Amino acid sequence: MNWGLIKTIIILPGTVLVFVPTAILLLADGSSFGADFQNPVEFTFYAACMFFAAGGYLAVRTVTLFTSRGEGTPAPWDPPQKLVILGPYRYVRNPMIAGVIVVLLGESILFNSWLIFLWTLVFIIGNLLYLPLVEEKGLIARFGDPYREYRDQVPRWVPRFEKWER
């Protein structure tokens, strides 16, 4: 069992997708911002499930690529040793973060929670700042020209229509 990966999952997506939304729901309970869990007979329940499925797929697929092909984890303290440009990474540079955002949107729909939606916006803004200012500089330092070429060909957030072939 890869304890580094388990620690990474608990700390990173666990905090963003479970701990913070749970705290939000608990703190808002009984207020006008409290959760309104969607009933399985309503469309919004199934829309939330679709968001969970799509975001969950991206998150699991990208973590699997990082561990199997990149020889690392998504965590900054144990990053991939090899540049991963496979699967969803051929279309967009940050499919893992996109998957987390999609799951957060699913949570905001499932609980009909504007506060979780606000948390989603905070997470998006944080990544809009962190990725270009910190993460991409680290990727250039680790992988050099191959990453620069990839960065120049594959968009950060909006996927390409065709997969990028090196």
Q: Which two structure tokens, joined as six digits, stand for 101?
A: 């955002």
Residue 78 pLDDT: 87
Q: What is the pLDDT of residues 129-139, one digit of tens each?
A: 999 999 999 99
**pLDDT for 4:** 73
Could you give the CA distance from residue 90 to residue 121 in angstroms, rounded to a whole number?
A: 26
Residue 117 has pLDDT above 90, yes or no: yes
Confidence of residue 35 (pLDDT cuts 50, 70, 90): confident
Q: Is the pLDDT of residue 115 over 90?
A: yes
Residue 70 and residue 67: Cα distance in Å, rounded? 6
pLDDT at res. 9: 80
What phi and psi, each to the nearest 5 degrees, are found at residue 34?
-65, 165
* Residue 124 in this model has a pLDDT that exceeds 80: yes
Residue 1 binned pLDDT confidence (cut-offs 50, 70, 90):
low
Domains (range + CATH), the chain: 3-153 (1.20.120.1630)
Taking a C-beta distance cutoff of 8 angstroms, is the pair 154, 91 a contact? yes
Q: Which residue has the tokens 């700390």?
A: 11
Asked if 25 and 111 touch (Cβ cutoff 8 Å), the reply is yes
CA 141 to chain centre: 23
Q: Is the CB of residue 35 less than 8 Å from the CB of residue 23?
A: no
How big is the CA angle at 48 (ends 132 and 161), to the nearest 5 degrees? 50
User: Residue 114: phi, psi to the nearest 5?
Assistant: -70, -30
Asked if 28 contacts 93 with a C-beta cutoff of 8 angstroms, the reply is no
Residue appearing with tokens 């092909």? 69
pLDDT of 130: 95
